[in-house]
Chains A and B, each alone.
Chain A
Amino acid sequence: MDSAKGLKWISKRKQQWLAYQLTAKLCYAIAATFAVAAVLFCFMQTPLWIYPVICSVLFSAMVHFSGIAKVQHHQIADMLDIRFPQLEHSASLFLKSSESLGMLQKLQIHRLYQSAFDLPVGHFINYRILYKPVGILLLTATAYFIVLYNVTPHLGNGQVSSLQQTANTPKPSMDLPAAIAAAQVRITPPVYTGLPKSKQTDLSIAAPLGSTIGLNLTTTARIREMALLLDGKTTIRLHPHDKDSLRWDIEFKPQKNGFYQLSLDGELSALYPLELIPDLPVTIRVSNPDQHTVIDFGFPETVALNASMQDDYAIREAQIMATISSGKGEGVSFKSHEIPLRTAVKNKKDATIAQTIDLKKLGMGPGDELYFYMKANDNAGQESRSDVFVVVLQDTAELFSMSGMVSGVDLAPEYFRSQRQIIIDTEKLLAEMDSLSTPEVHNRSNNLGIDQQLLRLRYGQFLGEEAEDAIGGHVGHDHGEQGPQSLAHLPKEEVVSHNKVRDWKNHDPGHEGHENHANEFKGEGPTEVPINMESLIAEMSHQHDRAEDATFFDAEQKAHLKATLTEMWNTELRLRTYKPREALPYAYKALRMLKELQQKSRVYVGKAPTKTTPLNPEKRLAGDLEEITGAEQHYTTLENPDELNVQQRLKRTLAYLSNLKTTRKLDEMGRQLLIEAERSVMEAASREPAQYLSALKAIRLLEEDGGENTQAEIQLIEKAIHELLPTLTQQPQKKNHVSKQPIYQLYFKQLTVN
């Protein structure tokens, strides 16, 4: 035997081994895919094509990492040697060429030749190797189907279904009438929706509004006439497709929700719902700016507009409609602009708008107001608008005006003028900055900062914050003998004014005449913060400084005042850090907020010119009432007088049904009530078939069964009537009753004798 045959033999064994191993790996990969699919199905709906991809990836990984593909012949030979002792560990000899073999090796090959081909190859590799992988595959497949059919219906899918998914979501199919062998419903949505035509065999129809519905029915036997009864009122005849009258069709375009029945030679079928999905206009949500925005002096005159739009099918166009008002009083003028959107929205379902509106480019100046809203049209031509947003460019001149403050009704405290004074001084500093030295500028800026601080502290008093004379200071307080014991050991320091602190800090030791008062500045300067730690701790535990104890303002005003204090602090910070130009916008903002706070409780109404009827001096003060006649009016008749009667009947039906559950017998009175209730439920079902159609069917079933075994139907009808009846409000009742017996009459009469 030559080694070629032996090599061939080993190659064949290798192929067999590889085939089984790859099959096993494939089984493992498929099992893993099932497991992954079961887990994924619990959380999301994934497309089917992803599973082969997962399987192939897993299979490739398994093959790669297990090294099956790299198996060599000699490894097979080694495996054969291990498996078959008859090969006497000489299988590798088959892999060598005849020329390279020695005599002994040739003899060995010759000896093995006979036995090698007689070896039972099945002992080396057979189907038993697949038991485990196939078993695991079956287990995971079973688990997958269990999850698919039993667990996932109870878990929600996280995805929001689109309109198409809603339309294609399988609904419980309605039974066909016995006389109908087959039915086909063709739904042709309006062209603008972009939806494809659909076909279904279920007679429950849910289609976009404006769709054309085609109905194709095949009957089991010849029928003379077939009609469609819409909402129990409108009849539309179906046309026989051919002469044998077995196929019928019709096309119609419903205008509203409702239900329909098929009439086959006068016999009515069950009720089928007809639901029209309306095309809603574009939904516009503006997240920025706020409803009312004020741009203060010094801040950029732009408005960042962030909005999002959604539509059922597609947006056709969208714009920003802006109106600018300038001037005041009778001199106000309005200019309208249409600002196009930079983002393309046409034919999109979702669009996100991020755009900056430059107020200067729109020609706005201080005091002007911009009113804008977003307008969008969808493919159906429906227009929708967002809310109107107002942007005001603050007019600084108006801030300084005293209008509304000198009416004398409510005296404005002098604090308000201080903020204006700080602004005036800051602007003056800015104007003179170029002509002043840097230390002088810093000094003046610092002084302004201190003034701002003082003003802030004064306002802070209203919120129960630090006292006027010191920041968190305990100085100047006189508790007398009733003071807390923990503070008794503290000396009463003299009142330290901020001016003194400022003078101390700003004092220049190098100025002329310093020697005269140098002693005053030798020691430690006055501080606003007590040095003694105990006093510091005692201050923290002091009961006076509580914002909650302040009762001058309500919560909203306090919040506004706190915001004002924040702006004052921003102003102070920049003034003290020698940045007066940056401080100015904050100062203006603080002033605006102070003005708003003052005027918060006031409502200003512009004085409109009035024209009164000229007085007749002859009749005036005459007291002649002859021409004044008493008017006689009548209360207007309420609309829908029958509505009350219908409601009364529905109420009686509701009461009757509550008893029918126990009596289980429908009598004549009950039938009458049900007939009347059916009319009301039918009207409701034509408006909202999804909600009331089941109740309508239940009424008919109840009438057929006569009240027996109809608990579920009675509950459906009760629920529907309960929803139809309006929410009631309490009404006065005559409760007290007095008997006509003479003794009682006499008793009540005697009560009023005296």
Chain B
Amino acid sequence: MTLPQAFFIVLAFILLIYVLLNEKRSKSQVPFLIRCLAGLLAIGALSGLFFPLKYPQSWHTSDKSDELVVFTKGTPDSTIRIATKNGNTATTDSAIARQHLIPLIQNWEAFLRQHPRVPIALYGFGLTRPQLDALTDRPLHYHAPQPPQGFVFCAWPLQLQALSPLVAQGQYNNPSDQEVKVVLLSANQPVDSTIIPARAAHAFTLSCLPKQLGNTLFNVLAIAGQDTLQHEKLPVFINPPQTLNVVMLAASPSFEYKFLGNWFQQLRYGIASRARISVDKFSFTYSEGSPLSLAPPLDASTFKQADLLIADEAELAMCTQTEQQAIAAAVRSGMGLLLFVGDEKKHSLLGQEFRVATTSNEHEQTIAIKSITKQDYPQLPIVLLNGIQVKPSQQPLLYHDTQIVAASQLYGKGFVTAMTINNSYSWWLRDQQEAYTRLWSFLLDNTTAGRQQALHYVQTPHFPTTHNWMELLLQHPEPLLSIDGQPHPVLQHEYLPELSKLSFWPQHGGWHSITAQQADSAWFYVYDQTDWQPARDFATLGATKAFATREHEKLTNKPEIEVNPENEIPKWIFFLLFLIAATVLWYASRQYNQNVM
């Protein structure tokens, strides 16, 4: 017992004595006994208000050991008809309640309190996360239905750079006897499609090169014959194309640099190129308006704005130590370096990390290259092929059979990529520009690092809907962010200071912007209630299954502990009793009741 409780007891006792003595002294038409009882009741009610009085649970309801059947959305009608015969059913879905005249659960927590410790048999797709959390430590039997028909899962990049391919991967559940065609639409034009066989849950991959810029809604359709079974949105925010500042240092004028320069020119990149003609003689080529100068000596200011340096290993080896240090510092700061390596005897500071082995390919006139992402490239004529012997810290990028012809290594914040192929321009001459752009896009993607700080986020759930909770996990340390211009506070992640959490209940569907103070804004999309229904149902089903499995393991592993659960008596009862007692005492103290002889 605490001090306040003891003090209260003393006070209550004193008050009781005072009330009894007072009533004994006063004369009233109301009998003394009743007045005493009223006083006692009033003080008892006060005590009940002050102290939490409890009673064992077994007094409140009959502890039914029968299961309580709860139907959620997705329960088959046949199951409902069978289960309702046994009684004790309820549902969280208003449609089921209307159709089968089953009680609808308006408040899940209150419902659980009404049925404490009653095992629940759950049918349908399942419950939401808060509802599942309320079921902790309660016996739960989950009867999962068949997965819903349609797109049960789909993932795609929510933010994309311009001229990057959009790849959407997912799974479609087709329980019907008919094939289903899944089509990706861009600007209402079909750009990719695949066939899902009958009676199968099949994964699919759809891709396209978007022509749009900004907030864009793509569409994915599921068609069976002439019928459109499902039509969903794929919102993607496409960032404007980036430009790179490229510096090229060639040991000798070559076609590879010539064609690379032309390609960069088409992409409107800033280019500064230097080719060695003789020991101290160079030829320079710059893009229009370039303030750069590649005349020796090269220093840190040369590479300050450069995103990428393409150089011959031989050329770098001929640079002075200071120049090589400047290049290394720039790479450490985030500049990408792509080296054409061969069997040079002298190595540069960064090129010495790559060991090149000469292999003879007498019988081969052409080689076929494959990337680590399993992209194939056309045949390339080659005279002598050098392979790279990678170290554990190096990642292979391109292969020919088992030989590695390009590899990349992290150096500070930048990447150094070494490549032994220097005649990819042959593809351009053979009218295979697509392979050329693919190869170089792949190489440069793995070599250049972003410098601009952008706002990255991860949204939960995967398909947020209106008026429902959603959370954004942002990679931004700002304490305040604004959504659609309205400021929203963020909560810092418990362990990772870089990350922040933002909870949000969107009021309307469509695009919403997130803006931080020193970064670009990002966009996220909120769906309507009817969008991606099968996928959301499938996610609910998965979450409920996982929860039921975890709970089942917990309950089977839990030791047998005798527990006498108790319930607290509601305070309003005591308040009512106090009022009644006070009323009686007041009535007894009225003038017309006094002075009774």
A748 within 8 A of B: yes
- The 9 nearest A-B residue pairs measured at CB: A732-B444, A651-B213, A731-B163, A655-B212, A655-B216, A658-B217, A718-B187, A655-B214, A734-B450
Q: Take A658-B217, A733-B163, A734-B450 as given contacts and tell me if A748 and B413 are in contact as well, using a CB distance cutoff of 8 Å.
A: yes
Of A360-368, A701-709, A736-744, the stretch lying at the interface with chain B is A736-744
Give bound CA distance, A751 to B353, whole Å: 14
B78 at the interface (CB under 8 A from A): no
Instruction: Determine if B187 and A662 form an interchain contact, defined as CB atoms under 8 angstroms apart.
Output: no
Known contacts A721-B187, A729-B437: A638-B244 contact under CB 8 Å: no
Q: Is the CB of A630 within 8 A of B285?
A: no
A628 touches B281 (CB 8 A): yes
Interface hits, A518-536 → B, CB 8 Å: none
Q: Which of B163, B218, B279 counts the most A-chain CB atoms under 10 A from its CB?
A: B163
- C-alpha spacing A308/B372, complex, angstroms: 54
As a 0/1 sequence over residues 407 to 426 of chain B, the CB contacts with chain A under 8 angstroms (1 = contact) are 00011110100000000000
17 further A-B pairs in the complex, CB-CB below 8 A; given A657-B187, A735-B450: A629-B281, A630-B277, A635-B271, A652-B212, A658-B212, A658-B217, A729-B163, A729-B434, A730-B209, A731-B241, A732-B267, A732-B441, A734-B307, A734-B448, A748-B410, A749-B332, A751-B411
Tell me whether A731 and B412 are in contact (CB under 8 A). no
Known: A659-B511, A719-B189, A748-B412. A735 touches B238 (CB 8 A): no
Q: Does B164 contact A (CB under 8 A)?
A: yes
* Interface set, chain B 228-261, CB cutoff 8 A to A: 233, 238, 240-242, 244, 261
A733 to B442, CA, bound (A): 9
A634 and B410 form a contact (CB under 8 A) = no
22 contacts between A and B (CB under 8 A): A625-B278, A628-B278, A629-B281, A633-B283, A633-B286, A654-B211, A655-B213, A655-B215, A658-B187, A662-B509, A714-B188, A729-B434, A732-B267, A733-B441, A735-B445, A736-B415, A737-B450, A738-B450, A739-B498, A745-B413, A751-B410, A751-B412
* Partner among B216, B233, B283 whose Cβ is within 8 Å of the Cβ of A630: B283
- 8 Å CB interface, B475-501 against A: 475, 477, 497-498
* A721 neighbours in B (Cβ, 8 Å): 187
CB distance A656 to B214 under 8 Å?
yes
A100 within 8 A of B: no
Question: What is the bound-complex CA distance between A721 and B188, given in angstroms?
Answer: 11
Within 8 A of B (CB), among A229-270: none
Which residues of chain B are near A722, meaning CB under 8 Å?
186-187, 189, 211
Q: Is A485 an interface residue (CB 8 A)?
A: no
Measured CA separation A633–B257 after assembly (Å):
14
Annotate B193-234 by CB proximity to A: 1 below 8 A, 0 otherwise: 000000000000000010111111110000000000000010
A666 to chain B, nearest CB (A): 14
Q: Which residues of A contact B283 (CB under 8 A)?
A: 630-633
Q: Contact at B285–A634, with CB atoms within 8 Å?
A: yes
Interface residues of A in 640-677 (CB under 8 A from B): 644, 648, 651-652, 654-659, 661-663
- Looking at chain A's contact residues, the main secondary structure is mixed
Nearest to B456 among chain A residues (CB) is: A737
Q: Cβ of B454 and Cβ of A737 under 8 Å apart?
A: yes
CB atoms of A734 and B244 under 8 A apart: yes
Q: Residue A637 at the B interface, CB < 8 A? A: yes
A729's nearest neighbour on chain B, judged by CB, is B437
- Closest chain-B Cβ to A283's Cβ sits at a distance in Å of 27
Which residue on B lies nearest to A731, using beta carbons? B163
**A651 engages B445 (CB within 8 Å):** no
Point out the residues of chain A lying under 8 angstroms from B55, CB to CB.
none
- With an 8 A cutoff between CB atoms, is B540 at the interface? no
Residue of B nearest to A716 (CB): B188
A754 CB, min distance to chain B CBs, angstroms: 11
CB nearest to A630 among chain B residues: B282
Q: Are B285 and A633 in contact (CB under 8 A)?
A: yes
Query: Does A601 count as interface, using CB distance less than 8 angstroms?
Result: no
- B160 and chain A: residue at smallest CB distance: A733
B448 touches A732 (CB 8 A): yes
Q: Does A728 contact B (CB under 8 A)?
A: yes
Name the A residues within 8 Å of B244 (CB-CB).
Answer: 732, 734
Does B359 have its Cβ within 8 Å of any Cβ on chain A? no
- Docked pose: A635 CA to B444 CA in angstroms: 21
A634 partner, pick from B164, B282, B287, B438, beta carbons under 8 A: B287
CB-nearest residue of chain B relative to A735?
B445
Task: Tell whether, in the assembled complex, residue A730 and residue B438 are in contact, meaning their CB atoms are under 8 Å apart.
Answer: yes
Query: Which residues of B line the A interface, CB within 8 A?
Result: 161-165, 186-189, 209, 211-218, 233, 238, 240-242, 244, 261, 265-268, 271, 277-288, 295, 307, 332, 334, 410-413, 415, 433-434, 437-438, 440-441, 443-445, 448-451, 453-454, 456, 475, 477, 497-498, 509-511
For residue A720, which residue of chain B has the nearest CB?
A: B187
**A625-B278, A657-B187, A658-B216 known; A635+B413 contact, CB < 8 A:** no
B164/A715 in contact, CB under 8 A? no
**Complex contacts, A631 vs chain B, CB 8 Å:** 283-284
Q: Which residues of B contact A629 (CB under 8 A)?
A: 281
Residue A725 CB within 8 A of the other chain: yes
| Cα–Cα distance between A437 and B309 once the two chains are bound (Å) | 88
> Does residue A752 face the partner (Cβ distance < 8 Å to B)?
yes
CB distance from B476 to the nearest CB of A (A): 10
Contact: A659 with B217, CB < 8 Å? yes
Nearest CB of A to B40, in Å: 69
The answer to whether B218 touches A718 (Cβ under 8 A) is no
Q: Give the complex CA separation of A718 and B444 in angstroms.
A: 32
Given contacts A634-B287, A719-B189, contact A733 B453 (CB under 8 A): no
**B433 neighbours in A (Cβ, 8 Å):** 729
- Known contacts A638-B266, A722-B187, A728-B211; is A654 also within 8 Å of B216 by CB? yes
B317 CB to nearest chain A CB (Å): 19
Residues of B within 8 A of A734 (CB): 161, 242, 244, 307, 448-451
Measured CB to CB, the nearest residue on chain B to A732 is B444
Q: Determine the chain A residues whose CB is within 8 A of the CB of B211 once the complex forms.
A: 651, 654, 722, 725, 728
Q: In the complex, which residues of chain B have a beta carbon less than 8 angstroms from the beta carbon of A728?
A: 163, 209, 211
Determine whether the beta carbon of B410 is less than 8 Å from that of A638.
no
Bound-complex Cα distance A740 to B277 (A): 41
Nearest A residue to B211, CB-CB: A725
A552 to chain B, nearest CB (A): 15
Instruction: Verify B287–A661 contact, CB threshold 8 A.
Output: no
CB <8 Å contact, B412 and A752: yes
In the complex, chain A residues whose CB is within 8 Å of the CB of B284: 630-633
Q: Write out the residue numbers on chain A whose beta carbons fall within 8 Å of the beta carbon of B453.
A: 737, 739-740
Contact B209 A638 (CB under 8 A): no
Say which residue of B267, B295, B451, B510 sits within 8 Å of A731 (CB atoms). B267
Q: How far is the CB of A592 from chain B (nearest CB, A)?
A: 29
Distance between Cα atoms of A506 and B209 in the complex (Å):
78
- Complex: A736 Cα to B307 Cα, angstroms: 12
Closest Cβ of chain B to A141, distance in Å, is 34
Known: A718-B187, A728-B163. A659 touches B215 (CB 8 A): yes
**CA separation between A718 and B332, bound complex, in Å?**
45
Asked if A730 and B215 make an inter-chain contact with CB atoms under 8 angstroms apart, the answer reads no
Residues of A within 8 A of B242 (CB): 733-734
Task: State the CA gap A736–B284 with chains docked (Å).
Answer: 30
A678 to chain B, nearest CB (A): 17
State in angstroms the CA–CA spacing of A655 and B523 once bound together: 14
| A634, A719, A730: most-surrounded residue (chain B CB, <10 A) | A730
A652 contacts B214, CB within 8 Å?
yes
Given contacts A730-B163, A731-B441, contact A739 B334 (CB under 8 A): no
- Quick one: given A659-B217, A719-B188, are A634 and B288 in contact (CB under 8 Å)? yes
Distance in angstroms from A486 CB to nearest chain B CB is 38
Nearest neighbor of B331 in chain A, beta-carbon distance: A752
Chain A residues closer than 8 Å to B287, beta-carbon distance: 634-635
Q: Which residue in B288, B449, B498 is a CB contact (below 8 Å) of A637?
A: B288
State which of A655, A725, A730, A737 has its C-beta within 8 Å of the C-beta of B238: A655
A737 to B454, CA, bound (A): 8
Provide the residues of chain B in CB contact with A749, threshold 8 Å: 332, 412
Residues of B within 8 A of A662 (CB): 217, 233, 509-510
